[in-house]
Amino acid sequence: MYALNQLFGVRLELFSDLTSYFHPTLFIGLVFTPFIAGVIVSLIYGLGGKVLCYFPALMVYLFQYLGTFAGYTPVPDDVRLLPIGYMGFIIIVAIEAAAVGGILGELWVKKTYGRMPRHIAYTDDKDKPKLGH
């Protein structure tokens, strides 16, 4: 996710003017890269990946914000660092996009590995299920 943000030049922690938020990098940074990260995390960790998919977006955007705040990343002229409250809102939106990706990735994993087939778990006789023996 960090590599994709660097590749596309996404710096959501910086604010220049209102027109900067009507740019394709906003969509890429808020929706696309967290969604891809959520899918990848769910595919790696399998079932339960939708719980872990929140952390990449949280770590990347906190790392970018704190790096800019500490002065490790240069801030261009006529640009300001967002207050932490506004950055928190951006992080929450990115985490939600990662959650959608995590759920879709987990559905993909379930489709690949599957669950118990219906004909094994259930019978036509409602009084006598097959699993309980």
| Cα-based angle 75, 88, 45 (whole degrees, multiple of 5) | 105
Could you tell me if 96 and 103 are in contact, meaning their C-beta atoms sit under 8 angstroms apart? no
Q: What is the pLDDT of residue 107?
A: 85
- Euclidean distance between CA atoms 67 and 120, whole angstroms: 55
Q: What is the pLDDT of residue 122?
A: 57
Phi, psi of 72 (to 5 degrees): -70, -35
* The two three-digit tokens of residue 76, written as one number: 């261009």
- Calculated CA dihedral for residues 50, 52, 56, 59, nearest 10 degrees: 140
Q: What is the pLDDT of residue 123?
A: 58
10-residue block means of pLDDT along the chain (133 residues)? 86 79 81 93 85 91 91 86 89 94 87 61 57 53
Could you tell me if 10 and 1 are in contact, meaning their C-beta atoms sit under 8 angstroms apart? no
* The two three-digit tokens of residue 127, written as one number: 């009084």
pTM: 0.76
- Euclidean distance between CA atoms 61 and 73, whole angstroms: 13
